[in-house]
Structure 1
C-alpha cells in the first residue's frame, strides 16, 4: 500500500526499509522543510495497543531531549491511521556502511576522529539516560561535509518492550554486547561494545564475531575473543589494539565505563601501547572474505543462551614466541600498562616453551640400603564415552562446564562416576539428566527440542 500522507507530512518517496519500519522522504508544509519520517511497525493485540502508544510517546519525548551535533534531531512524533511515526531532520549523506564501501580508504587519524565523534554523541545520550542498543554502521550517517550522526535512538528499546516480545530482544547479533544477547540488563557500556565492533570492522575489513548462523555469531560474541587485529592488518598502530581490547571486553566492568573515555583514547591512539594480560583466544581465518556491510539487519531474536560459561575467558600464562614460520594462535590481550584507560592484544603462539628453567635433578638415594620393590600403581580407569544426538541444536553442559554445541559436537569422553548433564536451547526448556557411568561404558544422549 502506497502512503501519500502521514499527519501533516506529504510523503515524497522511500529512503529505506528495515525490520522496524519504513523511512520516507517527506515535506513539512507548516515549516516548509524536507524531513525524514520513520514509521514503526507494531503487531500486537488490541489490549497491547494502548501500552505501545504510551511507550512510543515516552520514547519520543526522551529522544527529543537529545540535542547534540552527533545525534539526529527529532522534530515531531504522532500517529495516523494506526501508523506510529517520527519526523526527524533530513540528512544529506550516506550510512557509514556505504561510506566505507564507496569511499577511498581513510587515514587512521580520520577513522579515530570519526569514531570518537560517535562516542561523544553516545556519551551525551547516556548522561541523559538514553541507551541506543543497536549501534552499527547502518545507524551511523556520514554527512556530505564529513560530520557523523547517530540515527534510530530508542527504536530498539521501543520494540523490545512490547508484551508480545517477552523473552526476546531486538538488535543486530554481530554488534550486540554479550549481556545484551543473554537478556541481562544493559546500560551505556553495551553501546560502547557495539561501537568497538564497528571500529574493529572498519580497521580490519572483517567483523570480529561472525558465523554462518545467528546462533554461531551469538555464541562467539559471548564465549570467544576476536582475531588479533594486526594479524589482519600488520600496519595497524598498536594504540588501536589497546582501545579495541578494552572496548570489546566480555564483562561490562572491564570495558570503558563511559563513552567519553573511549573518545579520549581514540584521539590519542598514537600514544597508546599494547602490552598486558591475556583476555581471550582467537583463531585466524586468513581466507575469510570481508564482512558484507549490507548484511546487517536488525532482527528479533529469542535468547539462545540464557546462561553459559563465564563471560570473560580465564587468564593464562604468557609463553615464549615461536620461531618464524611456525603456526600459532592469536591471543586477545588487555592493556595493563595504561594508567587512565586501555587494554590491548598480543600475539602469542601455541608452543610450550617457558621462561623458567627446569628444576635440577635430585641425586638418587644411596644404594647401600636395599629398597623394597614398590607395588605397581593401579591402572587408570578407562573413560566412559557419551555420544550425542541433539536436534536442532543444543549447548552441552557437563557438571556446570560448557563442553560445546551439538551439532557439531557428537562425542564426549568422561571419567567414570556421577555426572550432571544439561542440554540448553534458548527457545525451549533445558533438558537435564543425571548419569552414573562405569569404566569403558558407552551411553547415548538423544533429545529433540520442540
Structure 2
C-alpha cells in the first residue's frame, strides 16, 4: 500500500509508492519543513486510478468521506459532496474536481416522467444556452467550466460560491432593523453590489445573451482576496424551463418568482435586453424599498400586477429611499421597454452618479405621459362612456392650454428653478432659470441665481475632475501596494527553512527584500496614501519587530478607512506584541501595581479594536485567524481558561504556528516554564526563524537565572535579524547581569547605532559604564537618554548618583530635585538628595528630605536611621536616639541602626546599652568591622581588657590596615602590662598612620624602660 506525505506548513502532498519508505525523514521542497505521513486506505486505492491517487490525497476530508460513501466519481473526475439546491429541471451539488483540486458546483439535469418529450426539448435548449453562457468571462458572472454528459444525464460544472445569495444577504441585513427595512447605509452598500451586477449584465448583453430570470436568488455573493463582496450572476438562460402559457394554467400556485418578470415576459412576448433591465430594476426595488414591487395571492395575480399596475413608489415603502434613487428605480421598471434605460451600462452609470453625489441622467415620467398611459390601459372603460370622456378630455385640453400660457410657463419654470436651487441641484436649476429668463427677462434675482448655478456647476466639474484624478492615483497606488507586498512575500518561506549553515545569508536576502518593499510602499504612500499601503507597511514592520511603527501604520490605515476590519484586528495583535516586548520581556523593574496597570491598559486598547471589528464581514481569509487570536487574548485577564480553550481550538482549526506562539505566551505569563518551552519548541520546529519565539525563550531563561542560555537565545535573534535593535539591547542586558560589561557596552552601542533614538539603550549603557568606573561616560549617556526622553526619571536619578560620585554635589542635588519633580512619591529620590545635602553640610535640608522619605514610606527603617544620623550631627541627640530606636522597631534586623545607636549611647556614656547594641550588630553581621572596634572600646572603658583585646583583634583580622584598632588594642595591652604586644601594636599604628608617632612616643619610651632598654 502507498503512503501520502503532507507538509504541515503549506499543505503540499507527496506520494510514496512503497509505504515502508515513509519511515525515512522527508522535507517539503518548497518550505523545507519535515513532512508528516498520511495513510491512504486500501479502499481508495482500489477505486482510484493510479495517476489520480496523489491528487485525491490532497482533497479535503469531506471529499474523501463522500467518495467512500458514494463509491466513485462522476465523469471520472468529480466527487459529489452534497446537494445544495434543486430546481424544476434538476439538482445542484457541491463537488470536488479531482484534477484541478478545487470545489465546483454541478447542476445535473434530471429526466421527467410526466412530460418526457417536452423535457427533451428543454434539455436541448438548456445545453445550447449553457454553451453560450460558458463563453461569458466576467468577474460578476458565475463562470461555467464545462457542459458534459455522464450516464445519460447532462450536467454543467460551474464556479462554486459559498457566500449565499443577495436575497439572504438582504434579509440578514434587515432582520435586526426596527422597521425591517434597509437603512441609507444599507442601501448604499446594496447599490454598490447592484452596480457590479448590472455591469455584468451589460457584458452579457454585449455578447447577445439575455438572462430571462434575474432575481435576488440568482445573484450569488463571493468573497474577494481583500475581503470585499463580489456579486456573481448565476443561471444564465437556465431558469426558463417551460413556456409561460403552461405556467399560467396553474393558477393558485407560484412557479418561480414572477415579481421580477418584465411585462413583455409576462405576456409571452419577444424578450429583449430591456427585459433584463426591468428585472434588474425590480431587484433594486426589492433591496432598497424592502418589499417586492409586485405582489398578489397567486401567480396569476402577480402577473396581472406586473402587466397593468405601477408599483408603490419606493420612498412610500421605505423613507430611506431618496428621490434621485427612486427616479432611477422607476425608470428601470417602466412598462414600455423604450422608456427604460437604453443599455444596462446607462443604468449602472446612473447608479454610480447617484453614489458619487452627481446629477443623474434619468428624469421622472411627466404627468401627461402617466395620464395618457392610464387612458390607453383602460381604453374599454373610456370607450363605454365616450361622451363623458370627450368632455373630460376637452376640459383637460383647455386646462393644459391655459396652464402653459407664457406667464404660467414662466412661473412654473421659476418655481422649479427655485426648488432645484434650494436642493442644490445646480444643473436642473440652471436649465429652469434659463427657460424662465427666456420668457421673463429683467429678473435680477433669477439672473444672479443663474450665475451662481453656473459657478457651482463649474466647481462641481472641477471637483469631479479632481476626484477622477484621485481615483486614478488611488488605483495606481493600490497596484504598487500589491506589487510591493507580493515582492516581499516571495521570500517569506525563508522563515521556515532549517538551514543553520546559511542562516545569515538567507535572512539577509529576506531583509533586503522587506526593506525594498517598505521603500516601495513609502513611495506609494507619499504619492497617494491608501489604507492598504499603510496596512501592509505595518505588517512588514511587525515582521521586522518594529512594533511601534507598525501600530502607527495600522492606525493611519484606519484613519483613512474606518471600516477596514483587518486593520483593527492586526493592530490589536501588534499591541500585544509591543506589550510583551516592553513589559514581559523587559528588565526594567516594575511594581505589581505598575504591571497590572500596564496589562489592563493593553487589554482595554485591544478590546476596543476587537469591538470595532467584531460583527463585520470584511476580514480577508488570510487574516481570519488573527481575529480568533485577538478575541482569545482580550479574555486573558478576565478568563484565562477561555483564552486557553480558544487558542487551542484555533490551532486545531488553522494549524498555524501563530497559535502555538500565543499559547507559549499564555503559559509564560502563568509561570509554567515547562509548558512555555514545549510550545516554543513547537513554534521553532515549524518556523525556525521565528524571532518572537526566541525573545520569549530568552525571557523564560532569564526568569530561571539561566543567563548563558538567555544570551544564546538573543544571539539567535541577532543572527536572524542583525538589524533588530531590541535584540542587541536584550543581549547586552544579559551580558551586564553576567558581569561582562565590555560585551554589554558593545551590544548596547550596536542597538544605538541601529536605532539612534533608543533612549533605554543609552540608559543601560550608562549603567554599564558606572560598573566600569567610567563616570564621565555614564553621565554623557544618561544626558543623551534624557534628551530623547526628558521624563525618564531613572536616568536623571542615576545621573545624579554619578555626579555625587564625582563630588559634584550641586549637580547631584539639581538632578535629584528634577527626579523628585518627575515623581514626588519616590522615597529613594529624597533619600539620595538628603545624603548629598548632608555631605555638603546642609543638615537641615538633609533632615527635611529624610522626613519626606518617612512620610512616603512610614515603614522604611532606613528613613528613620538616616534622619537619626543627621539629628545626631545637628546635636539633637534625644531625637536621634528616638529615630534609631524607631528604625529598629520597624526592622529588628536593621544592622546600621543598632550600630548608630550603639555609637550614640557610647557618646552619652550609656556604655552597657551601647555594648548590647554592638553585640547585636556582631550577631546580625559577623563581618561588621566597626562594631568589633567600638565594642572593644566600650569593654576597655569597662576595664574588660581581655574582651576588648578579643574584639579589637577580630576587627584587625577583618581589616588588617585598621590603625585605630591597633591603637586601641595597643593601649589595652599597655593597661594589661603586656609590654611587648603593646609595643608591637603602637609600632604598627605608626606604620599605618605616621601622624600617631608623636602622641605615642611617651608610651613607647615607657614600655622600653619596662623592658629594660
TM bracket (short chain): 0.5 to 0.7
After TM superposition, list the pairs within 5 Å mapping 1:364-379 onto structure 2: none
1:99 lines up with 2:182 in the alignment = no
Q: 1:204 to 1:64 in 2, by over 3 A?
A: same
Checking the alignment, whether the CA contact within 8 Å between 2:293 and 2:311 is kept in structure 1 is yes
Q: How does 1:14-413 map to 2 (within 5 A)?
A: 14-43=83-112, 51-52=121-122, 54-103=124-173, 105=182, 106-144=185-223, 145-157=228-240, 159-160=241-242, 172-269=257-354, 270=357, 271-272=359-360, 275-278=364-367
CA-CA distance at 1:280 after TM superposition: 5.2
Distance 1:205 1:90 in 2: 28
Task: Identify which range, 139-148 or 241-250, moves more after superposition.
Answer: 139-148
Q: Following the alignment from structure 1 to structure 2, what is the Cα–Cα distance between the partners of residues 20 and 46?
A: 12
What are the Cα deviations for residues 90-138 of structure 1, in whole angstroms up to 9, with x where unaligned? 1131101111111365443322221111100101101111111010010
CA distance in 2, matches of 1:93, 1:67: 20
8 Å Cα contact 2:126/2:237 also seen in 1 = no
Q: CA deviation at 1:56?
A: 3.5
Could you tell me whether the CA contact under 8 Å between 1:173 and 1:217 is conserved in 2? Answer: yes
Deviations 1:183-232 (A, max 9, x none): 00101111111111111111111111001111111100000001111112
1:6 shift after superposition: 3.0
Q: Is the 8 A contact 2:289 2:318 kept in 1?
A: yes
Residues 249, 83 of structure 1: alpha-carbon distance in 2 compared, 3 angstrom cutoff: same
Structure-2 change in CA distance of 1:82 and 1:49 (3 Å):
farther
CA distance in 1, matches of 2:274, 2:219: 18
Secondary structure (helix, strand or coil) at the match of 1:24 reads strand
Checking the alignment, whether the CA contact within 8 Å between 1:238 and 1:274 is kept in structure 2 is: no
More strand by share: 1
Change (3 A) 1:163 1:196: closer
How far is the alpha carbon of 1:51 from its aligned partner? 4.8
Q: Is the 8 A contact 1:141 1:150 kept in 2?
A: yes
Contact 2:244 2:266 in 1 (8 A): no
- 1:93–1:143 CA contact under 8 A, matched in 2: yes
Q: Secondary structure at the match of 1:34?
A: strand
Structure 1 residue 49: deviation in Å?
Answer: 7.0
In structure 2, how many angstroms separate the alpha carbons of the residues matched to 1:264 and 1:187?
20
> How many equivalent residue pairs?
290
For 1:332-373, what per-residue CA distance to the aligned partner results, in whole angstroms no more than 9, with x for missing partners?
Answer: xxxxx99x9xxxxxxxxxxxxxxxxxxxxxxxxxxxxxxxxx
Task: String of CA shifts for 1:286-322, please: whole Å, max 9, x gaps.
Answer: xxxxxxxxxxxxxxxxxxxxxx868xx9xx9899xxx
Per the TM alignment, residue 162 of structure 1 is displaced from its structure 2 partner at its CA by 12
Shift of 1:31: 1.6
Q: 1:6 aligns with which of 61, 66, 74?
A: 74
Q: RMSD value over aligned CA atoms?
A: 3.5
Name 2:782's counterpart in structure 1: none
Residues 215 and 260 of structure 2 are in contact (CA less than 8 Å); yes or no, is this contact kept in structure 1? Answer: yes
Report the CA distance shift for 1:268/1:12 in structure 2 as closer, same or farther (over 3 A).
same
**Using the alignment, how far apart are the partners of 1:180 and 1:275 within structure 2?**
24
Distance 1:205 1:10, change over 3 A: same
Q: Per the alignment, do residues 172 and 162 of structure 1 end up closer, same or farther by CA in structure 2, a change over 3 Å counting?
A: closer
| TM-score, normalised relative to structure 2 | 0.27
On the 8 A contact 1:48/1:163 being kept in 2, the answer is no
Match of 2:576 in 1: none
The structure with the greater share of residues assigned to helix is: 2
Pair 1:73–1:161, CA change in 2 (3 A): farther
Q: Does structure 1 retain, via aligned residues, the 8 Å contact 2:96–2:102?
A: yes
CA shift at 1:72, angstroms? 0.5
Q: Quote the Cα distance in structure 1 between the aligned partners of 2:115 and 2:313.
A: 48
For residues 331 and 364 of structure 2, the distance between their equivalents in structure 1, rounded to whole angstroms, comes to 12
- Asked if the contact 2:85/2:93 (under 8 Å) is kept, the reply is yes
Q: Report the secondary structure of 2:229's partner residue.
A: coil
Q: TM-score, normalised by structure 1?
A: 0.58
CA contact (8 A) 2:104 2:157 kept: yes
> For each residue in 1:218-253, what CA deviation from the matched residue of structure 2 results, as whole angstroms up to 9, or x when unmatched?
100000001111112223221111111110100111
Which secondary structure does the structure 2 equivalent of 1:149 belong to? strand
- Whether the 8 Å CA contact 2:331–2:364 is kept in 1: the answer is no
CA distance in 1, matches of 2:247, 2:308: 25
Q: Is the 8 A contact 2:134 2:145 kept in 1?
A: yes
Check conservation: 1:241, 1:274, Cα contact below 8 A.
no
Q: Distance in 2 between matches of 1:162 and 1:228?
A: 28
Which whole-Å CA distance do the structure 2 matches of 1:230 and 1:164 have between them? 36
Compared CA separation, residues 53 and 139, structure 1 to 2 (3 A): closer
Larger radius of gyration: 2
Unaligned runs of 5+ in 1: 282-307, 320-336, 341-450
SS at 2:341's partner residue?
coil
Cα 1:255–1:115 shift into 2, 3 Å: same
Residues 21 and 39, structure 1, Cα contact 8 Å, conserved in 2: yes
Distance (whole Å) between structure 2 residues aligned to residue 74 and residue 139 of structure 1 = 14
Give a deviation string over 1:9-54, Cα, whole Å, max 9, x none.
1100011223332110001112221110012344276666765554
Match of 1:147, SS state, is strand
1:174 is displaced (CA, Å) by 0.9
